Each structure stands twice: as structure tokens, then as C-alpha cells.
A and B are shown apart, each in its own frame.
Chain A
Amino acid sequence: MSNLMWLAIILAVLLGGAYVFRMVGQAATGNAPKFRDMGYGEAFGYVLGGALLVWAVYYYFQPQVAETGVPNAGVVFFRWAVQGFIIAAIAAFLFRLLGRTVGTAGSKKLFRSMPLTAAFGILVILIYTFVAIFAGAIAPYGQAEILGAANVMAGGDPALGGNPEYPLGTDQIGRDILSRLIYGAQNTVGIAFITTCLAFFIGGTLGFLASTLQGWLDQLLSRSVDVLMAIPSLIFALLLMTIASVWSVKLGIPLTIFMVLIIAVIDSTRVYRLARAVGLNIVVMDYIEAAKLRGEGLGYLVFKEILPNAMAPLLAEFGLRFCFVFLTIAALSFLGVGIQPPLADWGTMVRDLAPFINFAAFAPTAAVTPLLAAGAIALLTVAVNFVVDWMLHKTSGLKE
């Protein structure tokens, strides 16, 4: 109850503060238009933002260790978050600066109009690609290598159950978590990428075919896609994975291959929709008519005439689709039916390491490992979304 009381008091102070803020502003600036026309809500927003900023600075400089010797975990996490945010912003800024000075005239121009979020996204995607390709060279140990000690805490501090040889500790059967995180980039991102490509190949081809040929093929494909889209995709994927798990034992084919196929087919329905819609807009153009009159074949029409003109929306969709596929795979693995061990994978790692979160109050470093795996997934999808957001903004010409 006292918490609610405090909340009410703080709110009242802020509301009063807003009133005072506007009045003082009007008096100090000689009734400048900015303060004269300021709504009460806007003034409240300024005061609230200011109060949050003051509180954040105050909280940041709280002692990291309480007097009793127990670490003040909240402060530790807050500092990490703030430092991470600042480092990310600086890295993105430097990267954009680099892009503006190095490279061809075209790429320089691209970087000049780029918002910081998009630069950050591109930087993150580049780093992930690099780590995924060279995982074998970067990782200190193998992904399935079982080392001497199990359940070594993260942080490398022997007093807290850590070991400097394994900076992020080891998991419940003694595999190095850092190495598995690095290999996870290769497995999770790689498999998601292959799946998305497959989904685009299936959905794109069928969509363009439907829009070019129309008639019964279009009807058949569109109605089947409607039905498939009526089942929530994660649910459908889980159902099909149940069946695939039996088949994979029977046929001796790894379950991961089934998963790639299943998710590719489910996601290709969404690609089909877009490809068909874009294709329908293109096939009515004059140059398609001209190509048809020239007697060009179906393959030429689809790949030489329609595809290049549908590239921009498809590329943006590729980014979004990749995120969806990536999240679906992570969710399936998290639920225990996705990428199978011994392959290292972020979704599985989150599930296995999740109990460590409960130690956060005593040893903040221990709680970090499950969040790192989940954060690795989140960071990539956020990065891709930032880039796609910027691309859509740029191609649509929206300035609002």
C-alpha cells in the first residue's frame, strides 16, 4: 500500500512541477511562443523526462556493492545496460562516419542520409555474418566438446565458482558457453538464412507463376495458401514437427532438415501472397505486353521482366521474413523440438541456462548467460528490423 502512496505523491509532485515549469518558462523567456503555446501535457512530458533523467544518473552512481557485501545487482545491470547503449551508439556513429569517408560515391551517398539506428543495424548484421562464417576460428573450444568441469559460473572469478579459462562458464554437462554462443551464430543464423532463401524460392516462384498465368493455377494456389494461413504458423509448425520427429527416426534423416522444409513451406505462403500481389501490378505493364508479343517464354517473363521490377519490396520482405523464420526456429528450439543437440543453438541454450537467472541477486554475472543467448537473438532481429524500417522509409519516399 505504501508503494501506491509513494507513486501518488510522486505523480502529484510531477503534475505540480509541470505547472511550475511552464510558468517559470513563460516568465523567464518573456512569454516566448514556445512556452506560451505549450500544452499542459507537453509540459508534463518535459518534467517527466527530466525527472527520469535525474533518477537514471542518480541510480547509475549508486554503489555497486551494498554495505553487507552483497552485490547491488540492480545497479550492476543498469550500468551494463547504459554502458552497452552508449558503446552501441558510439560504434554506430563511427561506422557511419567510416561509411561516409571510405568507399564508392554511391555508398558514401547512402551513408550520408542514413539514420543512426540503420547504421547500427548494418554494423550488427556485418558482425554476425563475420562470426557465423569464421566461428570455427574464433571459438576457443568445439561446440560439442565436453570439458573438465561442468556448471562453471560466468565471470571467470574463482571465488564465485568461475574459471578464467572459461570466461562465460560452462553448461550443465561441461561445454564452454562462449564457444557455444559463437557456434550458435553459425547454426541458428545459418539455418534461418537457408530456410528463408528456400521459402522465397518456393513462394516467389509460385507467386510470380500465379500472377503471370492466372486462371485455375492462380485460384488453386491462392485458395490453398488461404487455408494454410488460417492455421497459426507456430502451432502448425509444432504439429508438423511432431509428425516429422517420427519420420526422422524411421528414415534416419536429421530432424533439422525436416524443420527447414516445414518452416520454409509455412513461410512461403506469406511470400507467395506478396509476390503474387506485386506480380499482378507488374504484368499489366506495357513492357510485359511487349515481351509477350515478342514471343518470350514463361521463364524469361518471370526472371527477366517481373523479378527485377519486384526486387525492392521483395528485399524488404526478405528482411522481415528472415526475422520471423529466425524467431520461429528460436521458439521451436526453446520449446525443445527445433535444432537438436549436439548442435549449439541459442534457443536451446536459453532453455538450458534459464535457471541461472535466479542467482542474479547474489551474482549478477551468473544470470547473464541465459540473457546473452536470448539477447543474441533479439539483437539480430532488432538490427534487421532497423535496416528494413529505414529501407521501407527510403523507398516509399515517406517523409512524415
Chain B
Amino acid sequence: MRSILKIVLQRLGLGLVTLFVVSIVIFVAVNSLPGDFAEAILGQGATPESVATIRRDLGLDQPLVVRYFDWLKGMLTFDLGTSFAQLNFANFGGAGSVTVAEQIAPRLSNTMFLATVTACIAVPLAVFLGILAALYRNTAFDKAANMFTLSSISSPEFFMAYVLILFLAVLNPVFPSLSNIFEGMPFGERLEKSMLPALTLTLVVTAHMMRMTRAAIINLLASPYIEMARLKGLSPMRVIVKHALPNALAPIINVVALNLAYLITGVVVVEVVFVYPGIGQLFVDSVKIRDIPVVQACCLIFAAAYILLNLTADILSIVSNPRLRHPK
């Protein structure tokens, strides 16, 4: 038990270090912009005086290292600064600018909702189909599933999204093709509106998870204890569910966590297609108008989620595998 705790703590520490280095990479990348933010904010209307004022307001006259730690401190206290678009708005007399944190918070929860819905559909479906494919391996069902999953892994997300829109929104109006969800929407309606993006993501993610489940189970089928179970006269379904599945759990959990991490990138494109008000959409919009504080914050959030999920995959695969739990 002690060794598990040690390993988990080690991994956590490593994850934190990685996150720290990643934040440096993001900060340095953003600060390699030609000129500086002051000019970027003011754009055409930059006079030397106004540039100097904004530079002082944002603390851009400080050295790079100081600014980095200021930014890091802000990140840790959820003070992510104010976006350029909002600053500009305030400059032209707009009242009460919204901070980046206030901008991101509702969108992050929307994205989380989408990811949760997707996971709830995709994970059971993938494991079930994977078990079926392993059970009926090398039959017509397996081959069809193989072809279908290979195709859906390799097609771009937006292709899947538009095909789904075509069939489930335009030709047979089952679900709305625009996911204009807002705060205070009843749960059922919210679920219905985010169904198409969730289904798109499900299609992309399920394929990979299902293939890995199938491979993990088939890998075990040559083991002596499986042969023993078979010779005892157990039914194929029982052999797989009772004997093979528990031992294949580690790779399956691993691939599930990795795919949830993959969801984070997939979500960007899908959110844009369905105009889903999530963090991916915000990120792309900010990239287009070069709204650096928002881009920086979103990027760090994405990276943190990605690292966290990879870490979870790592830890779960150690915990669920006795051989890794007690290293020699």
C-alpha cells in the first residue's frame, strides 16, 4: 500500500513539474510576439504616450521573469487578467469590462458538460462493442466493425459532424444542428441541444476505445488460464467477461483516459461546427483576433486538463495492475 502511495505521489509531482514547464513554454511563446501587447491592443491608434500608459498599466515595463511570476500568481488565484477585446471596449467607453476568468468560467462548465455527456455514451458503448468484437472475432460483424471504426478514426471531426447534421438535423429533424445553450436552461433541453456534438465526439472516440478493448482481450485469449476456462466448458461469453476482462482492465482504463484527453482537442473543432458556447469556441475566436490573455489562459487550461488525464491514465494503470504495483 505504501508503495502505491509513493508511486502516485511521484507521478503527481512529475505532473506538476511538467505543468510548470509547460506554463513557461506558453509564456515564452506568447512573449515572442513582435512589438508588444500595448501596440497590439491599440492597433492603429497607437501613439507613443498611449503605448507608454498601457505598458505601465499592464506592467509590461517589468523584466520578463517578473512578469512571468506575476502571470503565474494570477493563474493560481484565478485572476487571469482582462482580455484585449474587453480592454478596447472599456477604452471606448463601454461599462464594466469582464475579466478573462468571468469569460472562461461558464464556457468551461459547458465544455465539461459536453465531455461528460460524450463519455457517458461513448465509454459503455465502446467497451460493449469491443467485447462483442472480441467474442465474434474474424466474423462478418468483426470485419464490418473494423472497417467502420478505422474509417471513423481517420476521418476529420468536421466530416463526421456534417454527415450527422445532414442525416439527424436536416433530413430527419431529430436533433437541432445549432447548440445554442445558455445558463438556466432546463437539463432535458440542454441535453437535447448538445446531443449532436456529443454524438460526433462519440463516433470519433468510440472507434479507438473499441479497437483497443478488442485488442486487449484478444491478447489474453492465448493465455493458459483462458484455455483452462474454455476446457472447463464455460461459454465463450463467460470466458471473456469473467476471465479475460478483469485482466484486460488496465489497458482499457488507460485507453479510456487517453481518449478523454483526446476529447479536449477534438472538442475545439466540434464546438466551432455546432456553435457550441464552450471553451474551444472561445479559444478559436480569441486566436483569430489575437486576444493574447484569453489565448494564454485557454491554452494553459487545455494543457492542464490534458496532463491531468494522462496522469490519471498512468496512475490507474499502475493501481489496476499488481505487477506494476509491486515492482521488483
Contact = CB atoms under 8 A, between A and B. Distances in A.
Given A49-B140, A360-B171, A247 B34 contact: yes
Contact of A227 (B18, B40, B135): B18
Interface string A223-235: 0001110111111
A382 B283 contact: no
Interface residues of A, number: 58
Given A239-B26, A242-B290, A331-B269, A42 B18 contact: no
A314 B27 CA distance: 34
Contacts of A49: 140-141
Interface in B202-238: 218, 235-237
A374 B303 contact: no
Nearest to A241: B287
Contacts of A391: none
B109 interface: no
Contact of B34 (A39, A45, A250, A374): A250
A231 B170 contact: no
Contacts of B273: 354
A242 B135 CA distance: 48
Nearest to B299: A239
Contacts of A16: none
Contact of B154 (A243, A246, A384): A384
A234 B265 contact: yes
Interface string B293-328: 001001100110011001000000000000000000
Contacts of A360: 166, 170-171
Interface string B143-177: 00001001101111111001101110011100000
B284 interface: yes
In this complex, the interface size class of chain B, counting residues with CB under 8 Å from chain A, is 35 or more
B104 to A, nearest CB: 14
B29 interface: yes
Given A227-B21, A235-B283, A335-B272, A389 B150 contact: yes
B162 A234 contact: no
Contacts, number: 164
Given A73-B171, A242-B287, A235 B18 contact: no
B307 A230 contact: yes
B264 interface: yes
Contact of A374 (B154, B162, B261): B162
A316 B167 CA distance: 35
A280 interface: no
Contact of B171 (A74, A238, A245, A384): A74
A398 B148 CA distance: 21
A374 B159 CA distance: 5
B129 interface: no
Nearest to B300: A231
8 closest residue pairs by CB, A with B: A378-B155, A374-B159, A381-B154, A234-B265, A385-B154, A232-B265, A235-B302, A360-B170
